[in-house]
Structure 1
């Protein structure tokens, strides 16, 4: 029995990555994004930015928003009861004046202290509210947003200048109710957000990891109508649809929760759809030390496990009839979480087992797994290059170095994050572990 289960796990670990690699190849993508502003009506877009103790990053955030040339937009910063100087920084950077804003009273959230409008930028607003968490802040923002589309951004995220035009084009299709954009690491970007691998290894690993996660995995799942996570760093939603499904719920993984509920909404409204837009880009800060990276990844894994349990009933019932359930439960949970224990145990067994057949099988598994991950990595580089992520001559050497170290070291560190995060979920699931902002000054004004 164990032998056959092992074969099934190995088969899934091999076949599913191959599926995503093939499915994400650009020449198989029939959807083309060509910006032509004259052919499309500019839809109204409300950009919501929840802020909790973000004083170190606000200058960057505000500069990033103000450089975007899209007329029919508004930006709403939601101060979620910050205990630092976030509200004071918003006042000084935006020159705020109190105004009366009326909410729709369709979603629940913590009480609002005050609402403001910027005297410097008339399309910029601030909501000052009692602390309730990110989901609560987003609900408040949705309540007060005046536009038909909602973009949710983290406070350290910067949109590329053409992202709103690309989003506007995608949402001309009235059946599109949500979309996820491409997220790149902000560190390592030079003028015009040109990519540079002249960074310390921990940042290089994350740059490369985002290539794989978005260009291959999310792209493939979106084509299969099985995308389960629209990143909290950059998501786009039809506002009326958010009202219909009840907005955000307070949970460890609000981005997973809202995406799964949107997918269930689509299953009942078959004409509706969720997209992944790799051409629409935002840039976000990543952890720069192992302690902060550990906090981030433990939080992500806790959020994932929390949603597995919350949606377990519907996922199990439809695991072999719905693609969403299969890829979320079988691939993300069984292969992505449980199989990590199998891999680590297999490596440990090599040190203690003397049986020739067992050692041969384990080495075969490790070699095949490494080769497959290598091909997966090269595919990610190819797709990234296709989408304009160009590498200088010297960066190509650093990229090769990063891929080798990723195969030999970083992917096993990622396994440990997954294993530890899963275990800690059962002991301390509500610990948020906010990652420290760098406060670094980025030269973004030259971005195209």
Structure 2
């Protein structure tokens, strides 16, 4: 038993420590350091699937009216919304019917209308019968004109320079897909682009912000350097359009973002030079849940999507577990250490409590809790240091809020997250549906960079 606990403990410690070190600047890859300075802009189609997004769609439109880029289009795919989504789009954009050429290479539900903005001709709206997010994205790809596809959630806004950075990275012909960095919209300061503010935010939002900092600036950054990035966030993903068509677009699933990323990895498995990047300079902001109920719905969907792709791609993942970094980390780290370890830990606590094996139980509890306290404090502090290394700063007065958030994360949120993982992994086999997270309906102010160019035609 003691040997098993030691092995188990070391395995749980190995991967987080690995990412803690591998995310540091010493391990930067050539792609991160290289400046290509392309002479021309690649065409970029921004796809925004929208289903009942009346609470946030106006903010999205404001951010899309003008970015620091010329060769781009925005396509809102209204996926059979039953609320005021289309009315708001029409009022904001002054739409008129304008059929668009389609590729006819991907399948999707029926299109009921294609519209173009009179005041912002680079923005389109595609109305369609409801088919889900993956179906809406396929419809968007079919109606896109550009060579690169950017996928955004309706509650995600891009910073003004984001597309310029994307263009620079995709000047390398070997880059076939990439993820952008996602920050929390509720913490976005109205002053400089890289200023974060915690004033007025709920603890639940702040602890999710910490999750995102750890996920993007530690774990994802490390995985991308290993060419093992298995999740290009649906909030902000960038893809070569032809690659999306070659893999037959998005599959209708619980988690289309993991699915399309693994499809891309499978697609390039025999193409040694093709790569999937994480672009740290391409910044976006997305709205996060503000209630425990909505957080539960979101995290259970995330876990179901992981399980769905584990099942769907089991052949590819198991065959390449020792040859492809993405398969190794997906199975060994995410499944064995991330999921099975949660059940083993919970089972050990329950079993020892029931059998009253006091000495072993108390000893393990002391060691395990010490590890949680010390290691997770370090992990959180490093993530905060990492985001500062990439140019972000917090507002004055946020230091105490950060300390309180770290304490809440270590003592409470970590265990809630473990419950989400355990519950979602089992729930997948009984119910593969997922419920939409409510939008706050809050109006967010855009940066001056957006407003200055808001008359682009």
Q: Distance in 1 between matches of 2:32 and 2:175?
A: 15
Call closer, same or farther: CA 1:346–1:314 in 2, change over 3 Å: same
Q: Distance in 1 between matches of 2:85 and 2:259?
A: 28
Q: Distance in 2 between matches of 1:363 and 1:346?
A: 14
**How big is each residue's C-alpha offset from its partner over 1:161-188, in whole Å with a ceiling of 9 and x where there is no partner?**
1110100000000010000010000002
TM-superposed CA distance for 1:275, in Å, is 0.2
Q: Distance in 1 between matches of 2:227 and 2:299?
A: 26
Call closer, same or farther: CA 1:9–1:147 in 2, change over 3 Å: same
Matches within 5 A, 1:44-59: 44-59=43-58
Question: Is 1:361 matched with 2:325?
Answer: no
Question: Residue in 1 aligned with 2:126?
Answer: 127
Correspondence for 1:206 among 201, 205, 208:
208
Call closer, same or farther: CA 1:157–1:33 in 2, change over 3 Å: farther
Matches within 5 A, 1:44-443: 44-191=43-190, 192-193=192-193, 194-198=195-199, 199-348=201-350, 351-352=353-354, 353-430=356-433, 432-443=434-445
Q: Distance in 2 between matches of 1:221 and 1:65?
A: 30
Q: Which secondary structure state, in structure 2, belongs to the residue aligned with residue 237 of structure 1?
A: strand
Q: Distance in 2 between matches of 1:295 and 1:74?
A: 32
Q: Provide structure 2 residue ranges, at least 5 long, that are not aligned to the other structure.
A: 451-457
TM-superposed CA distance for 1:138, in Å, is 0.6
Q: Which secondary structure state, in structure 2, belongs to the residue aligned with residue 276 of structure 1?
A: strand
Call closer, same or farther: CA 1:250–1:346 in 2, change over 3 Å: same
After alignment, is 76-85 or 371-380 more displaced? 371-380
Q: Which secondary structure state, in structure 2, belongs to the residue aligned with residue 268 of structure 1?
A: coil
**How big is each residue's C-alpha offset from its partner over 1:308-355, in whole Å with a ceiling of 9 and x where there is no partner?**
111122222332332211100111111111111223334445655344
Call closer, same or farther: CA 1:266–1:104 in 2, change over 3 Å: same
State whether residues 176 and 274 of structure 2, in contact with CA within 8 Å, keep that contact through their aligned partners in structure 1: yes
State whether residues 182 and 284 of structure 2, in contact with CA within 8 Å, keep that contact through their aligned partners in structure 1: yes
**How big is each residue's C-alpha offset from its partner over 1:154-210, in whole Å with a ceiling of 9 and x where there is no partner?**
000000111101000000000100000100000022213521122210010011110
After alignment, is 198-207 or 28-37 more displaced? 28-37
State whether residues 372 and 410 of structure 2, in contact with CA within 8 Å, keep that contact through their aligned partners in structure 1: no
Q: Distance in 2 between matches of 1:32 and 1:336?
A: 28
Q: Provide structure 1 residue ranges, at least 5 long, that are not aligned to the other structure.
A: none
**How big is each residue's C-alpha offset from its partner over 1:14-42, in whole Å with a ceiling of 9 and x where there is no partner?**
011011111101242144468896x4311
After alignment, is 218-227 or 388-397 more displaced? 388-397
TM-score by length of 1: 0.95
Q: Which secondary structure state, in structure 1, belongs to the residue aligned with residue 104 of structure 2?
A: coil
Q: Distance in 1 between matches of 2:208 and 2:449?
A: 22
State whether residues 52 and 82 of structure 1, in contact with CA within 8 Å, keep that contact through their aligned partners in structure 2: yes
Q: Distance in 1 between matches of 2:181 and 2:33?
A: 14
TM-superposed CA distance for 1:429, in Å, is 1.3
Call closer, same or farther: CA 1:297–1:411 in 2, change over 3 Å: same
State whether residues 48 and 153 of structure 1, in contact with CA within 8 Å, keep that contact through their aligned partners in structure 2: yes
Question: Residue in 1 aligned with 2:454?
Answer: none
Question: Residue in 2 aligned with 1:23?
Answer: 22
State whether residues 182 and 285 of structure 2, in contact with CA within 8 Å, keep that contact through their aligned partners in structure 1: yes
State whether residues 35 and 166 of structure 1, in contact with CA within 8 Å, keep that contact through their aligned partners in structure 2: no
Q: Which secondary structure state, in structure 2, belongs to the residue aligned with residue 267 of structure 1?
A: coil
Aligned pair count? 445
